[in-house]
Amino acid sequence: MAIISVYIVSKAGGLIYQYDNPNSPKIEVEKTFSYPLEISLDYQNKKVTVVFGQRDGIRVGHTVLAVNGNPVNGRQLEDGQDIFEILKNEENFPISIKFGRPKLNTNEKIVLASMFHSLFAIASQLSPEHKSSGIEVLEADTFKLFCFQTVTGIKFMVVADPKQAGIEGLLRKIYEIYSDFALKNPFYSLEMPIRCELFDTNLQAALEQAEKSGLSNV
């Protein structure tokens, strides 16, 4: 069980805090392929990405991390060879390729937070229930996204392993930490990014406790 990351989004949809849990498991798969390559790759957002043919733990969206043990930077190996040129040549096969979950950069995280903010608003409007609370849980095969929105419109989001329990309690604990160490700071306003060492320390402690308990509220 693991908590992967935490996002805090302002009422206006801006990302004001983000934390990636360094203890979350790495998703990496290495496989040896024969010619021709059985999956389709494309160069997207400065990463060589799987776009079709997922198999054996390799998923659409995973990126190429290494070829024959050589780390990948963009679409090139450390010696400057282009990955796509290597994969075109049958003489380079069999070939070992390591895939993994892509690491998002700051701009990608900002875009994702803004997109979720919009989806949350759409879900609230589409719901047949009056004053719908919007998206509270978004479930996929490899993760769950939990969202708690406060009365002031701040959204607290936790991305976790589907088997991780107690996330609802964790969200409220994060809200308490936010209230104690951000809102009580006289130099902080609601739309500002959260930069507070005490907030970071208490958040990390709450995540560790939630992962250890796994079954009940923090």
Q: How far apart are CA 210 and CA 204, in angstroms?
A: 10
Label residue 100 by pLDDT band (50, 70, 90): very high
Domain 3-24+105-213 -> CATH class: alpha beta
Decide which of 87 and 140 is more confident.
87
Domains 3-24+105-213 and 28-100 belong to one CATH topology: no
CA distance 204 to 12: 26
Q: Please identify, in words, the CATH class of the domain defined by 28-100.
A: mainly beta
Q: What are phi and psi of 17, to 5 degrees?
A: -160, 140
The mean per-residue pLDDT over the stretch 51-55 comes to 91
Q: How is the chain split into domains, by residue range?
A: 3-24+105-213, 28-100
Tell me the whole-structure pTM to 2 decimals.
0.82
State residue 128's pLDDT score.
Answer: 79
Angle at which helices 167-178 and 197-213 cross, to 10°: 160
Contact 17, 194 (CB under 8 A): yes
CA–CA dist 41, 63 (Å, integer): 9
